[in-house]
Structure 1
Amino acid sequence: MVNRGAHHSRTIFSSATARIFPRKPSPFTITLQIFFLFAFSILLFLFYTRNSFEYEQKHPYFSRESLLNQVDVHSTVEMSEEQLWYAPFSHGVHPCIEPTAKYKAAIGSDRYMTVRSNGGLNQMRTGISDMVAVAHIMNATLVIPQLDKRSFWHDSSTFSDIFDELHFIQTLRGDVQIVKELPQELEALPRARKHFVSWSGVSYYEELTQLWKDYQVVHVAKSDSRLANNGLPLDIQRLRCRALYHALRFAPPIESLGKKLVERLRARGGRYIALHLRYEKDMLAYTGCTYGLSDAESEELRIMRENTKHWKVKNINSTEQRVGGFCPLTPKEVGIFLKALGYPPSTPIYIAAGEIYGGNAHLLELTSRFPNVVFKETLATHEELRAFANHASQTAALDYIISIESDVFVPSYSGNMARAVEGHRRFLGHRKTISPDRKGLVEVFDMVESGQLERSMLSYLVQQMHEDRQGAPRKRRGPIQGIKGRGRFRTEENFYENPYPECICTSKRHFQ
């Protein structure tokens, strides 16, 4: 059968073309036609690119591509088991922390360094790892650090209460000489008391070796962030990793109970999510985040912030904090987030955190969506936890172990615990870690709440926003462009949050 419509169309098109262009155009005419077609294509490209860019600038999480794909929204909500639980692709990636051939082993020294570690558990852990590297650079004998007993939790734990002291000393014996106590004959001698400059390089500490001319003991008042994230020799970076991931093993009682609790979690449902729900009184007061709280609760946090001397910022706009992505996600927001990612209500969720502010009243906003929520108090017996009572750093160590071993780790805020766990999971093979885009989530949640966005779009958008935020291998991010001076160091990704490439090797050339 002849397609008369098609034939007719071709005839009309041929006639029209014949009227516009001659049957045998000259070379000049052909060149002119090609030029105009090329110029027209460029104009079209610039027009659409400009419009698309302007739209995405105004609506950063609702790109033209996502709007064009709205027809597929409902088909993207259901996630496969592999998408929900499996680690990102990390073929060929493995830890590499052995020293290079140029590395100089530790030698005995009669110069001593004493350290007072400051902060909570993970701030102290990373600080101690920095001090190991600093002692190596300065050729000093490191005395087992004193732990912070004046932080918010007032924990009286000593180094050996939290860490396996003998293992720490023996594991690092080829890197730095470590002793349990300062020799008695040096106790009465004057010491050089130093606040090392934050994010310093090797040359800074090499210059400080001049202190040994006048002093035999250097006391370090703070240990956190004393080394730069980037620009250090490979062997120093790998030493930091050896200290943190191998030498700083938790004390046997903590390790033993932590493994038992992981086994009990597995027995409940196999896979589980470890949720670092940073919805604790001190964090909310520090950040000034009061969204979802009562007036009385908001006032209580304001008074706490006002009365905490070392917190410099007293007046904080809670709304601006939340819109800017600087607030921990609330229990309700976490519940909506996990549901939007596709996790079923029966998913076991371990809460790795201290006491949730507001107790069950706020926690109910999460448990109403995910009833299978557990704490260490529901996994362990009273007898098992009795030894850890009133020792926040020791119970935080239990949370750390359970978080490292989880199938998925989700932090509601990017604090010291979140960064340390993410870095350790990357080191162990890039275990799945979902980092919420808090700023983007707040924008989406508020649009759904106000009716500007259909609720059916929520899962699709949340999944798209977090497609590349699940712990896949990538190089550590450097400073934000345009920031000069020492302020740029604050904008760098923390070394312990992502020790790639120095402590993680790959057979591939690079990762983006």
Structure 2
Amino acid sequence: MWNPRLPTRRAAPRFRRGNLFPVVLIIILFFSLSSLFLTRKGLDEDDRETPHRVPDKVFPHKILTMKPQIPEQISEQDLWVTPSSFGLHPCTKPTSRYEVSHVSDHFLTVKSNGGLNQMRTGISDMVAVARIMNATLVIPQLDRRSFWKDTSTFSEIFDEEYFIEALKRDVRVVKALPKELESVPHARKHFTSWASVGYYEEMSHLWNQYQVIHVAKSDSRLANNDLPLDIQRLRCRALYHALRFSPPIEILGKKLVERLRDRGGQYIALHLRYEKDMLSFTGCTYGLTEAESEELRKMRESTSHWKIKKINSTEQRLEGYCPLTPNEVGIFLRALGYPARTLIYIASGEIYGGHARLLELSSRFQNLVFKETLATKEELEALRDHASQAAAIDYIISVESDVFVASYSGNMARAVEGHRRFLGHRKTINPDRKGLVNILDKLESGKLSEGTSFAHAIREMHANRQGAPRKRRGPSAGIKGRARFRTEESFYENPYPECICRRNRNG
């Protein structure tokens, strides 16, 4: 604070002591108001920044010439404790208007498509469709032509008997089509995506000509929003109760969770979707060699059901459409405050680039655990060549984890997040990939360094992305027609409000 030396009478005879105090007060007031104005101006400019872009001024230029700072310590509660559920709880009971299903002589056969979680959510949709169309559901056939080429049957992945029994009041389910109907003409339908109840009520006219309708694909057959409450709750009963994994998978999954607890008590389940099929599908080649990029391009062009062949990898990454690399995940988790000793279970298939690419993550977190290091040889042998069964183990461990993080928002990540929300909003950190790329590119170019300011920006960006209760997001603004359905948040990613209620509501 400025403190002027009082002049003597001889140096400045025209000033009197009594007249000097107001002058000093005016000068102090001037500097105070100037400082306040400049501070407010800076805050106003910060408020105008876009939500995804982190302003350069957050990272002062002087940080480039400073040694990296050690990020401030985060409390154990901030790292591990589940967000408050505010009195919300699962609610799947039918309303008083819901009627018990009637035996139907119309049959719906289904061929599920995709990986494990795409099939799971698709099967849950088809349970609801069978209810709407008053049909008997035949146990679905699982996809054997996907990237993983898993030959597992329904009963090898799911508890078939339990599935049938759990849904008996909702839909009649049988193991196979009656022999006398195997040779009769079937209606083969590819039902439209994100369809309403009215659509399926119209499709019921097919029963006038056919006794059997075969559905070629099961995924995304129902809309996310604007469906009757009882249909939405039936989808939740099907997915979270009836579609239980087979006893061998359930037993092994629980054993591995116990072994993780014995190792460290708390653990993060990291769905590291840095796998060959995902990188090829998304066209993401950041950090790869030219040979690897070319291999992925050939794979994409040779896969007939992947419609987009030419993809600009740089644009994909800047828009947040690429999986985070192992190195980016490591930087992200350290910035959030997780210490190097943190126990991390890697829930994924084979990482593209193998051990060398995983070193980018293990150099920051030495306590990485995989199925291969957690299970015995005999236990692993049962999963060999059965990718969907191995994925089911990852799913169980991920749902039961203290913290779940996914490097990409694929089917597995969305299904696990939805299940964790349903079970009490367990802590689920959803990386803002677009925002992260903006910061990480500055880090790579040397415009900023890892340290307190860097970590603070990462934490601020993700303060509201940790699984706390919120209603499901609707379509993006400005999108019209059927295209808007693609922009809606998946029902299975966030079943609130239909399947998550207040205590005083019907549960």
Question: TM-score, structure 1 length as denominator?
Answer: 0.88
Give the match for residue 422 of structure 1.
417
Does the CA-based 8 Å contact 1:95-1:427 persist in structure 2?
Answer: yes
**Which structure 2 residues correspond to residues 253-272 of structure 1 after superposition, within 5 A?**
253-272=248-267
**Which structure 2 residues correspond to residues 400-439 of structure 1 after superposition, within 5 A?**
400-439=395-434
SS in 2 for 1:495: coil
**Aligned equivalents of 2:401, 2:294: Cα separation in 1:** 36
Q: Which moved more, 1:415-424 or 1:298-307?
A: 298-307
Give the match for residue 490 of structure 1.
486
1:193 aligns with 2:181: no
SS in 2 for 1:383: helix
Give the match for residue 273 of structure 1.
268
**Aligned equivalents of 1:131, 1:366: Cα separation in 2:** 40
* 1:279-303 C-alpha deviation (Å, 9 max, x unpaired): 1000011111111111111111111
Does the CA-based 8 Å contact 1:92-1:508 persist in structure 2?
Answer: no
**Aligned equivalents of 1:333, 1:450: Cα separation in 2:** 14
**Aligned equivalents of 2:450, 2:398: Cα separation in 1:** 31
Gaps of 5+ in 1: 16-43
Give the match for residue 450 of structure 1.
445
**Which structure 2 residues correspond to residues 384-399 of structure 1 after superposition, within 5 A?**
384-399=379-394
SS in 2 for 1:301: helix
Give the match for residue 139 of structure 1.
134
SS in 2 for 1:232: coil
SS in 2 for 1:350: strand
Does the CA-based 8 Å contact 2:71-2:335 persist in structure 1?
Answer: no
**Aligned equivalents of 1:195, 1:8: Cα separation in 2:** 92
Question: TM-score, structure 2 length as denominator?
Answer: 0.89
Report the AA paired with residue 497 of structure 2.
Answer: P
**Aligned equivalents of 1:508, 1:172: Cα separation in 2:** 26
**Aligned equivalents of 1:245, 1:9: Cα separation in 2:** 79
**Aligned equivalents of 2:468, 2:425: Cα separation in 1:** 6
Q: Which moved more, 1:57-66 or 1:363-372?
A: 57-66
Q: Following TM superposition, by how much is the alpha carbon of 1:10 offset from its aligned partner in structure 2, in angstroms? A: 7.6
Q: Following TM superposition, by how much is the alpha carbon of 1:453 offset from its aligned partner in structure 2, in angstroms? A: 2.2
**Aligned equivalents of 1:278, 1:59: Cα separation in 2:** 22
Q: Following TM superposition, by how much is the alpha carbon of 1:7 offset from its aligned partner in structure 2, in angstroms? A: 8.0
**Aligned equivalents of 1:11, 1:95: Cα separation in 2:** 68
Q: Match for 2:120 among 111, 125, 148? A: 125
Q: Match for 1:381 among 361, 369, 376? A: 376
Give the match for residue 498 of structure 2.
502
Does the CA-based 8 Å contact 1:77-1:341 persist in structure 2?
Answer: no
SS in 2 for 1:283: helix
**Aligned equivalents of 2:339, 2:238: Cα separation in 1:** 39
Q: Which moved more, 1:404-413 or 1:297-306?
A: 297-306
Q: Match for 1:469 among 461, 465, 468? A: 465
1:351 aligns with 2:346: yes
Give the match for residue 286 of structure 1.
281
* 1:84-103 C-alpha deviation (Å, 9 max, x unpaired): 01111113110000000011
**Aligned equivalents of 1:193, 1:441: Cα separation in 2:** 45
Give the match for residue 248 of structure 1.
243
Report the AA paired with residue 331 of structure 2.
Answer: I
Q: Following TM superposition, by how much is the alpha carbon of 1:312 offset from its aligned partner in structure 2, in angstroms? A: 1.3
**Aligned equivalents of 1:438, 1:172: Cα separation in 2:** 39
**Aligned equivalents of 2:93, 2:411: Cα separation in 1:** 26
SS in 2 for 1:94: strand
How many residues of Structure 1 are paired with residues of Structure 2 in the alignment?
A: 478
Q: Match for 1:221 among 213, 216, 240? A: 216
SS in 2 for 1:364: helix
Q: Match for 1:372 among 367, 374, 380? A: 367
* 1:2-36 C-alpha deviation (Å, 9 max, x unpaired): xx999868856999xxxxxxxxxxxxxxxxxxxxx
SS in 1 for 2:405: strand
Give the match for residue 476 of structure 2.
480
Change in CA separation of 1:65 and 1:281 when aligned onto 2, cut-off 3 Å: closer
SS in 2 for 1:298: helix
**Aligned equivalents of 1:309, 1:503: Cα separation in 2:** 37
**Aligned equivalents of 1:172, 1:162: Cα separation in 2:** 18
**Aligned equivalents of 1:409, 1:50: Cα separation in 2:** 35
**Aligned equivalents of 1:146, 1:338: Cα separation in 2:** 39
1:318 aligns with 2:310: no
**Aligned equivalents of 1:319, 1:482: Cα separation in 2:** 26
Q: Match for 2:72 among 58, 71, 77? A: 77
**Aligned equivalents of 1:128, 1:466: Cα separation in 2:** 33
**Aligned equivalents of 2:131, 2:383: Cα separation in 1:** 33
Does the CA-based 8 Å contact 1:74-1:460 persist in structure 2?
Answer: no
Change in CA separation of 1:203 and 1:409 when aligned onto 2, cut-off 3 Å: same
**Aligned equivalents of 2:229, 2:156: Cα separation in 1:** 32
SS in 1 for 2:89: strand
**Which structure 2 residues correspond to residues 148-227 of structure 1 after superposition, within 5 A?**
148-227=143-222
**Aligned equivalents of 2:138, 2:394: Cα separation in 1:** 28
Q: Following TM superposition, by how much is the alpha carbon of 1:57 offset from its aligned partner in structure 2, in angstroms? A: 3.8
SS in 2 for 1:497: coil
Does the CA-based 8 Å contact 2:321-2:433 persist in structure 1?
Answer: yes
Instruction: Give the % identical residues.
Output: 68
**Aligned equivalents of 1:364, 1:399: Cα separation in 2:** 21
Does the CA-based 8 Å contact 2:89-2:503 persist in structure 1?
Answer: no
**Aligned equivalents of 1:267, 1:310: Cα separation in 2:** 44
**Aligned equivalents of 1:9, 1:444: Cα separation in 2:** 53
Q: Match for 2:54 among 45, 56, 61? A: 61
* 1:100-150 C-alpha deviation (Å, 9 max, x unpaired): 001122111001000000000000000000000000000000000000011
* 1:225-277 C-alpha deviation (Å, 9 max, x unpaired): 00000000000000000000000000000000000000001111110000000
Does the CA-based 8 Å contact 2:157-2:245 persist in structure 1?
Answer: yes
